[in-house]
Amino acid sequence: MYEIRIHSRGGQGGVTAARMMASAAVKDGKFATACPFYGAERRGAPIVSFVRIDDAPVRIYSQIRKPDMIIVLDPTVMETVDVLDGLKEGGSIFVNTHEDIEFPPQYKVYKADLTGIALSKNLVVAGSPILNTPVIGALAKLGLFTHESGKKAIEETFADVRNIEVAEKAFEEVNA
């Protein structure tokens, strides 16, 4: 089972990204679950979501303590949350950034400027760039699901063609 923990802020689309990731994996013939962790969330507050992908039915619906991958949609979350907590040795980290961020050498680090990509298409809600659709493109490039399944999951969630456009751009830009 491949387990993913997503760190974001309320309003950025982390919960929806988790659902689209699970949907894309299912479209590829996998089994998957998406589970948000809700507390006293509000727009801008740190949020955590979880995704499990497997070849067999997934029967676990709890938080993920030892993920294979960490996704950080807002790097400022790292100022208050230990996003690497429990990440498995040799695990992967994907960060929404254009800057170089240092992580311990035992992890594979990927990045793309999802914020810049979303802003380039004016994909903004309530003043915040939407990061869920570009991250689907980036994760497709990393092989979590096929590019086609990622696009289908986006199309089933959003009608605005800009969502596919930002996913395509992130697919091209991620440092895979």
Amino acid identity for residue 99 in this structure: E
Tokens matching residue 57: 């039915």
For 140, the domain range is 2-173
Give the count of beta carbons closer than 10 Å to the beta carbon of residue 85.
11
Query: What does the pLDDT look like over 127-154, one tens digit per residue?
Result: 889 999 999 999 999 999 999 999 999 9
Cα(first)–Cα(last) distance of the chain, in Å? 22
- Using CA atoms, how far apart are residues 147 and 137, in angstroms rounded to an integer? 7
SS3 26: helix
Q: What is the pLDDT of residues 89-112, one digit of tens each?
A: 999 999 999 999 999 999 999 999
Q: What is the CATH number of the domain that holds 148?
A: 3.40.920.10
pLDDT above 70 covers what percent of the chain? 97
| Inter-CA distances, 89 with 35, 66, 84, 105, Å | 23, 10, 10, 10
Q: What is the mean pLDDT of the chain?
A: 94
Torsion of CA 6, 10, 11, 17, to 10 degrees: 20
Count of domains in the chain? 1
pLDDT at 87 over 90: yes
CB 77 within 8 A of CB 46: yes
Rounded to an integer, what distance in angstroms lies between the CA atom of residue 87 and that of residue 107? 9
